[in-house]
Amino acid sequence: MFSVRADETSKQSCRHTEKVGPKNNNSSCTLPMKYFIETYGCQMNKYDSELVAGILEGAGYCPSLRPEDADVILVNTCSVRQHAEQRVLQRLNSFKALKLERPDLKIGVLGCMAQRLGEKILVEKPFIDFVIGPDSYRNILQVLNGVHSEQRESSPKIFLNEYESKETYADVCPVRVRGVNAWVAVMRGCNNYCTYCIVPYVRGRERSRSAQNVIEEIRRLVDEGFVEVTLLGQNVNSYWDGEHDFADLLAMVAKVEGIERVRFATSHPKDLSEKLVRVIAENEKICNHIHLPVQSGSTRCLQLMNRHYSREDFLAKVEMIRKYLNPVGLTTDIIVGFPGEEEDDFRQTVELVREVEFDSAFVFKYSPRPGTRAAQFDDVVSAAEKTRRLEEINTLQKEITKSKNRQLIGQRGVILVEGRSKKSETDVMGRLETNKIVVIPNTILPKGKLVEVTIVGADGVTLFGRVNHQN
């Protein structure tokens, strides 16, 4: 969960598409119209919340630290799994009491759940004032002006995406939390239609921002003090602006003065090219970390998932990556209990995990999404069997991660300092280019600094380091 913090936001001087609503000419943010955004789900959702914050602050709204103090509460939602939707619904119910206390409070649902459920949200939860899909955020000021007006009953309360949306928000300036790393969405939507995935239905087809537009945003980020950027897309490897592919874009971003590190997410195995991996190898600023979701180690299941590659294809991609990148952090996503996944299919996934030795893996039980092809499949795997398979792969992966991390003890690497450790105010944490977290105990280092360390210990997914010298 992610919230836009009122005391840590960073505004950028770029053009907003619409300037209506309450105006704010007071930098102390004393206007009565305050907003609170709570975000669930993926990195793209976090970026979208930053876009919405940019639109609102461009119109004079101010961020609130707490929903209790806000005039507008926005919940940016995720539909990728049923559990994610249940969490959101429970959270929405918690806002009902606030609405009863303050009838003028406006509550809006944004994102993928808004797009998937639409009017159903307003019918089942009448205390919700409006729903807006991921490509319709430009309408939020119109909606807010409507719900605050005397004509609020007749004002539109639902704005959903068009299937062939061309929206990229290229001219909207996000409001970000100050820090080291910034998300930058370079494309939106997905054309792959994996049978289990709701994303193409709620976020539409692929469309890319121009490379020049992306570079301009990153230059502004440098001016704001950011030193690392993560380029985002549902399938970032399929980026194409009519002239540049993703490898071209990565190389361009790496040349931006002031940017120390470049990351990206997420890659689809079928679109991961040798050209792209060579660009990573040739550019020191581009981190040697690739998140490559395999989903299953069974070619039969991959076909049922409509993934467009086989087990052998995936292993060939891994071999190619490790040919060019050493060291490299290789992480993945895995679904267990997909309809029709037999024990032999699952065993093939286990063996693939053992063979590849991922640095980490996000393992999920299959969750049927209404409207997707897989939701209509028969041969459903039982809940108990899904749990067993999940636990087996998680146990195996934990052992692999521990073993790989222990092998790093005594080796040197460079971390980008991100700040204090979450577990101790006296410790500093940062990441290696392979995306591994390193904690430096009992020290003080400035955020955004590249520091050479020696790995002196490993505990599960966390490494411990000692500073060698500061660059």
- Mean per-residue pLDDT, 393-419: 98
pLDDT band, residue 153 (cuts 50/70/90)? low
- pTM comes to 0.91
H or E element at residue 123: helix 119-124
pLDDT above 60 (res 26): no
More confident call, 165 vs 448: 448
Return the SS3 of 236.
helix
pLDDT for the residue numbered 124: 94
pLDDT above 90 (res 382): yes
Write the pLDDT tens digit of every residue in 417-436: 999 998 888 999 999 999 99
H or E element at residue 47: helix 43-58
pLDDT above 60 (res 148): no
* Burial call 417-437: b when 16+ CB within 10 Å, e when fewer: bbebbeeeeeebbbbbbbbbb
Give all domains of the chain, ordered by start, each with its CATH number. 2-159 (3.40.50.12160), 176-406 (3.80.30.20), 412-470 (2.40.50.140)
Where would I find the beta strands (DSSP E) of 256-309?
Answer: 261-265, 289-291
pLDDT band, residue 309 (cuts 50/70/90)? very high
pLDDT for the residue numbered 402: 97
pLDDT for the residue numbered 460: 82
pLDDT for the residue numbered 422: 87
Residue in 290, 384, 313, 305 with CA at minimum distance from that of residue 339: 305
pLDDT for the residue numbered 129: 94
Q: What angle do CA 239, 242, 248 make, to 5 degrees?
A: 55
In whole angstroms, what is the distance from residue 400 CA to residue 3 CA?
34
pLDDT band, residue 17 (cuts 50/70/90)? very low
Mean pLDDT lowest among 57-61, 301-305, 310-314: 57-61
Whether 9 contacts 47, CB under 8 Å: no
pLDDT above 50 (res 23): no
Whether 224 contacts 448, CB under 8 Å: no
pLDDT for the residue numbered 157: 86
Q: Partners of 470 in the beta sheet?
A: 451
In whole angstroms, what is the distance from residue 180 CA to residue 82 CA?
32
- Mean per-residue pLDDT, 380-397: 98
Non-local (6+) Cβ contacts of 204 within 8 A are 135, 161, 162, 163, 164, 165, 188, 189
Mean pLDDT lowest among 28-32, 115-119, 368-372, 393-397: 28-32
pLDDT for the residue numbered 10: 47
Percent of the chain with pLDDT over 70: 90
pLDDT above 70 (res 313): yes
Non-local (6+) Cβ contacts of 37 within 8 A are 3, 4, 49, 52, 53, 63, 74, 75, 76
pLDDT for the residue numbered 31: 53
Write the pLDDT tens digit of every residue in 195-238: 999 999 999 999 999 999 999 999 999 999 999 999 999 999 99
pLDDT above 50 (res 19): no
Mean pLDDT lowest among 22-31, 38-47, 260-269, 407-416: 22-31
In whole angstroms, what is the distance from residue 252 CA to residue 186 CA?
13
pLDDT band, residue 11 (cuts 50/70/90)? very low
The token duo for 295 is 């989903």
Encoded amino acid at 230, one letter: T
- Mean per-residue pLDDT, 57-63: 95
- Mean per-residue pLDDT, 102-115: 96
pLDDT for the residue numbered 470: 52
Write the pLDDT tens digit of every residue in 323-377: 999 999 999 999 999 999 999 999 999 999 999 999 999 999 999 999 999 999 9
Whether 436 contacts 463, CB under 8 Å: yes
- Helix 274-282 to helix 246-254 angle (10° resolution) is 10
In whole angstroms, what is the distance from residue 295 CA to residue 364 CA?
9
Left (φ > 0), alpha (ψ -120 to 50) or beta: where does 231 sit? beta
pLDDT for the residue numbered 6: 42
The token duo for 55 is 């639109």
pLDDT for the residue numbered 177: 86
DSSP H helices in 294-377:
299-304, 311-324, 343-356
In whole angstroms, what is the distance from residue 196 CA to residue 384 CA?
20
- Helix 211-223 to helix 246-254 angle (10° resolution) is 30
Residue in 454, 453, 451, 446 with CA at minimum distance from that of residue 419: 446
Q: Please give the backbone phi and psi of residue 130, each rounded to the nearest 5 degrees, phi first.
A: -160, 160
